Amino acid sequence: MRDPIQTSPHPEEPRSGVSKDAPAFSVASTTILRDAPDGDPQDEGSRGERATILDVHGASCRFEVSQPWLARVVSRSPRRVLRAVEDISFKVERGTTFSIVGESGCGKSTLARMVVGLQRPTEGSLRFADITRADGTIGPPRVQMIFQDPYASLNPRWRVGDIIAEPIRELKLRKDEGETIARVGDLLEIVGLSRGDALRFPHEFSGGQRQRISIARALATEADFLVCDEPTSALDVSVQAQILNLMVRLQKEFGLTYLFISHNLSVVRHMSDHLAIMYLGRFVESGPAEEVFNHPRHPYTRLLLDTIPDVEKPNRERRPMSGEVPSPIAPPPGCAFHPRCAMAGDICRSERPILREVAETQLACHFG
């Protein structure tokens, strides 16, 4: 499906050849809770078509940022509402990667938190379909998140073995302690580390190795659906390539489904089957990844593509992106992108474009 990124050896990255008989480790007891959304069973044997694993319809998330009631009355100021995500709809097919790209502050991470259940939608619905899980049970997919910062997402007081074993114990995925320890060692080897690393603390690893530990922790739950919130943005370029290649390999081996959040289009192109461009809480263009990359229709998509370095055309003409992302508290009327768009006309300033079908993609632009 996708060719691996060519990488050069990196001194910080995985080692092998450590003894497979790592001693046991202790773990603190913490309850892991997740509300599994209801879903309609899907026929996973459908004739050549992939089953839909996630269906998001009209999802919005708004935050009240007004002053206290009494202060508003005294100052006669109106209520203020931050519209982080506004009327988002999309479907994710099982075994694919759906990527969402946009600038900082466009609502990508809020949408990711909604999918994993950390943030409730103000409006709309997010439904997971029932599937046959890796352990043979039937129900909604197990959803896990890989966070952006590998330094902050791991408990510095716990050994790596404790961190990975916690969900296995809490979800009772193995019969006894011996099987749990063996499973932790297997997971470490799957992500390119060694069994002996279970006894070490997170601060003893490089950034790329910590992100591998985060991936192993996500896989420990036998997850089917991984929400990846900019998992490579805190890593240097060579380590980014290794982590992306690892994620592609794991997807092929275990049939994982990814919701991949990023602002780096070059990273997204390597990973994606389907791509959505997000601006100020809304999708402005969505479609098959190669179609969006090869035939971008929205001005914002074209500007984002212009930011990708091209070694074959280093001196190509580029149109710099001017202005800042408008405030989601007071978005501009009409098309939210019109203050920064060179193609904007009068209709753009007065009427918000609706996301509509254009060829193989969906587009929200009056002139697309």
- 18-29 pLDDT, tens digit each: 333 333 443 333
Write down the pLDDT at residue 233: 85
The alpha-helical segments, DSSP class H, found in the chain are 69-75, 108-116, 160-170, 177-190, 207-220, 237-254, 265-271, 289-294, 299-306, 346-350
Please report, for the chain, how many H helices and E strands are present, in that order: 10, 13
17, 62, 84, 222, 290 from 116: Cα distances, Å:
36, 17, 16, 15, 27
Q: Residues 47-82: pLDDT tens digits? A: 345 799 999 999 999 999 998 888 888 988 888 999
Nearest to 11 by CA among 233, 197, 238, 194: 238
HEC string of 97-146 equals: EEEEECCCCCCHHHHHHHHHCCCCCCEEEEEECEEECCCCCEECCCEEEE
Mean pLDDT, to the nearest integer, of 225-246? 89
Q: Is a pLDDT exceeding 60 seen at residue 294?
A: yes
Which superfamily does 52-304 belong to? P-loop containing nucleotide triphosphate hydrolases (3.40.50.300)
How much is the average pLDDT of 120-147? 90
- Identify the residue whose tokens are 């995500």: 85
Percentage of the chain surpassing pLDDT 90? 58
In the block, which residue shows the tokens 């916690």? 166
pLDDT exceeds 70 at position 315: no
The residue extents of the domains of the chain are 52-304
Residue 30 has pLDDT above 70, yes or no: no
**Which of 12 and 183 is assigned the larger pLDDT?**
183
Residue labelled with tokens 């078509």? 49
pTM of the model: 0.82
State what percent of residues in the chain have pLDDT above 70. Answer: 82
Q: What is the mean pLDDT of the chain?
A: 84
pLDDT band at residue 119 under the 50/70/90 scheme: very high
**Are the C-beta atoms of 84 and 63 separated by less than 8 Å?**
yes
Instruction: Identify the DSSP state of 227.
Output: E
Q: What is the pLDDT of residues 192-217, one digit of tens each?
A: 999 999 999 999 999 999 999 999 99
Q: Does 4 score more than 50 pLDDT?
A: yes
